[in-house]
């Protein structure tokens, strides 16, 4: 039978005619089975750089795509080193094979050296706007899907995956308490030290308590906590979902009829929306403790006086304003993290790129939303 026939070893003969032209004659079988032997023979070739080389393939017995690709690669290497090479002895079938290989040969990479132009700048801006529009649509899609899943869970509470929520809460909240508390403590201490340094020159060092209290409770506590959560938990969500995408686990959930939003997205976002207000409270207390400690050491304001001044400076609204922002910022961080995670393709480069984009986009939108909240609360006089 044909498939039991023994392959003939590939051979190469290099000859020079009277005109000084060199001929490389190929014979034997050039198939995937003989590819290793043919490659070893090609490496031993010594061809003059200044002579025309003709590669004759008329004596080749069996030739498949692998052998044709090796001949095509050899021709390309010879041409790249300065020789002029042409193939001879091609039948119509083999000519079509080499044309198809040439058509699928990837072009040589060349860096984009075009300078700055107004048209290029506008084109890049337009592409970025289109990508931002697609990201907004993806977030709205996840948000709508989340609303449908929540309505289903409210009607059928047994479908709520409480264990998954508890696991995500442990990772997002309990595991983040030490770093959030330490960061907030240092931020509160720095605010008090810097504020006290300048206010002390005017004899108004007592008002550093007002500065630290209002700034921490209204803005710094929640926004720094949200940024820390975006960098810690948001990137973890993106990496987890991205790894599941790479291993086709998300596709497997679709195949067995489970909702990706219900199984993967909802537990993470709910856990994050519960965790961020708690972490914000921890951050506020740690920052005020750091501020009180620095004012005691640096400005000689005892803790009792610090608490009295703090009570006079802040109100319940000051404390509540920061906590109200926390669930919304958690929702934004969770949505962006899940969207970027589900956009990961099948490579580690894609995973790293989307994880980075998740953190950057989440931090940017957290700051934007904080600005909108500041305008809103100022408008209603809170």
- 142 shares its domain with 254: yes
A 10 A CB-CB count for 355 gives 21
- 80 shares its domain with 205: no
pLDDT at 63: 85
- 177 shares its domain with 303: yes
292 neighbors 189 (Cβ within 8 angstroms): no
- 24 shares its domain with 145: no
- 142 shares its domain with 44: no
Domain end position, chosen among 79, 103, 127: 103
38 neighbors 30 (Cβ within 8 angstroms): yes
CATH, residue 59: 3.30.750.24
Is residue 13 one of the residues assigned to a domain?
A: yes
Is residue 121 one of the residues assigned to a domain?
A: no
Is residue 326 one of the residues assigned to a domain?
A: yes
DSSP β-bridge partners for residue 55: 24, 87
Element containing residue 57 per DSSP (H, E):
strand 53-63
Contacts of residue 237, Cβ cutoff 8 Å, sequence gap at least 6? 268, 334, 337, 338, 341, 358
Is residue 116 one of the residues assigned to a domain?
A: no
Count CA atoms closer than 13 A to 266's CA, side-chain side: 22
- 96 shares its domain with 143: no
Q: How far apart are CA 172 and CA 115, in angstroms?
A: 46
- 327 shares its domain with 216: yes
- 43 shares its domain with 148: no
Is residue 122 one of the residues assigned to a domain?
A: no
Contacts of residue 296, Cβ cutoff 8 Å, sequence gap at least 6? 302, 303, 306
- 48 shares its domain with 150: no
Considering its fold, how many domains does the chain have in total? 2
Which residue's structure tokens are 């709910």? 270
pLDDT at 114: 61
- 92 shares its domain with 183: no
pLDDT at 4: 44
Q: What is the pLDDT along the chain (382 residues), one digit of tens a residue?
A: 444 456 788 888 877 776 667 778 888 888 888 888 888 887 777 776 666 678 888 888 888 888 888 888 888 777 777 677 788 888 888 888 888 887 776 666 556 566 677 887 888 889 989 988 888 888 888 888 888 888 888 888 888 888 888 988 888 888 889 999 999 999 999 989 888 888 888 878 888 888 888 888 888 889 999 999 998 888 999 999 888 888 888 888 888 888 888 888 888 999 999 999 999 999 999 999 999 999 898 888 888 988 988 888 888 888 888 889 999 999 999 999 988 888 888 778 888 888 999 999 999 999 999 889 888 888 887 7
A 10 A CB-CB count for 222 gives 29
Is residue 130 one of the residues assigned to a domain?
A: no
pLDDT at 150: 84
Pairing of strands 85-88, 11-16: unpaired
353 neighbors 327 (Cβ within 8 angstroms): no
Closest to 342 (Cα-Cα) out of 131, 129, 130, 142: 142
pLDDT at 49: 62
pLDDT at 51: 67
- What's the length of the chain? 382
Is residue 77 one of the residues assigned to a domain?
A: yes
User: How far is CA 75 from each of CA 23, 72, 84, 92, rounded to the nearest angstrom?
Assistant: 13, 5, 9, 19
Could you tell me the two tokens for 261?
A: 């939003």
- 240 shares its domain with 349: yes
Is residue 128 one of the residues assigned to a domain?
A: no
Domain end position, chosen among 48, 83, 103: 103
Could you tell me the two tokens for 216?
A: 């921490």
Parent domain of 347 = 138-379
Q: How far apart are CA 368 and CA 135, in angstroms?
A: 16
- 76 shares its domain with 148: no
H helices present in the chain, as ranges: 35-43, 65-80, 92-103, 118-155, 162-172, 177-199, 208-215, 221-229, 235-246, 249-255, 260, 266-298, 303-313, 316-342, 348-379
Q: How far apart are CA 242 and CA 250, in angstroms?
A: 9
């Amino acid at each position: 039978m044909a498939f039991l026939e023994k392959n003939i070893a590939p051979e190469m003969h290099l000859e020079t005619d009277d005109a000084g032209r060199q001929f490389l004659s190929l014979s034997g079988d050039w198939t995937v089975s003989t590819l290793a032997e043919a490659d070893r023979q090609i490496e031993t070739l010594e061809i003059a750089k200044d002579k025309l080389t003709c590669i004759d393939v008329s004596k080749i017995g069996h030739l498949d795509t692998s052998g044709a690709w090796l001949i095509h690669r050899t021709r390309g290497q010879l041409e790249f080193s300065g020789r002029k090479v042409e193939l001879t002895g091609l039948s119509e079938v083999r000519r079509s094979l080499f044309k198809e290989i040439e058509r699928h040969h990837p072009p040589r990479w060349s860096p984009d050296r075009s300078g700055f132009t107004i048209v290029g700048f506008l084109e890049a801006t337009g592409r970025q706007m289109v990508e931002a529009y697609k990201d907004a649509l993806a977030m709205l899609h996840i948000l709508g899907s989340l609303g449908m899943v929540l309505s289903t869970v409210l009607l059928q509470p047994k479908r709520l995956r409480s264990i998954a929520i508890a696991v995500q809460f442990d990772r997002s909240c309990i595991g983040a308490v030490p770093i959030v508390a330490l960061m907030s403590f240092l931020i509160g201490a720095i605010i008090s030290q810097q504020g006290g340094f300048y206010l002390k020159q005017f004899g108004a060092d007592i008002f550093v308590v007002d500065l630290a209290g209002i700034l921490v409770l209204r803005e710094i506590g929640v926004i720094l906590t949200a940024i820390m959560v975006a960098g810690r938990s948001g990137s973890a969500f993106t990496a987890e979902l991205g790894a599941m995408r790479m291993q086709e686990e998300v596709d497997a959930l679709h195949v067995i009829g489970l909702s990706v939003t219900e199984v993967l997205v909802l537990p993470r976002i709910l856990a994050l929306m519960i965790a961020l207000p708690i972490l914000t409270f921890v951050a506020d207390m740690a920052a005020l403790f750091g501020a009180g400690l620095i004012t005691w050491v640096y400005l000689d304001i005892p803790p009792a006086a610090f608490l009295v001044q703090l009570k006079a400076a802040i109100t319940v609204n000051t404390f509540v304003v920061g906590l109200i922002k926390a669930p919304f910022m958690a929702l934004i961080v969770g949505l962006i993290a899940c969207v970027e995670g589900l956009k990961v393709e099948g490579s580690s480069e894609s995973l790293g790129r989307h994880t980075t984009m998740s953190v950057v986009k989440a931090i940017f939108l957290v700051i934007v939303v904080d600005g909108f909240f500041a305008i809103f609360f100022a408008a209603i006089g809170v």
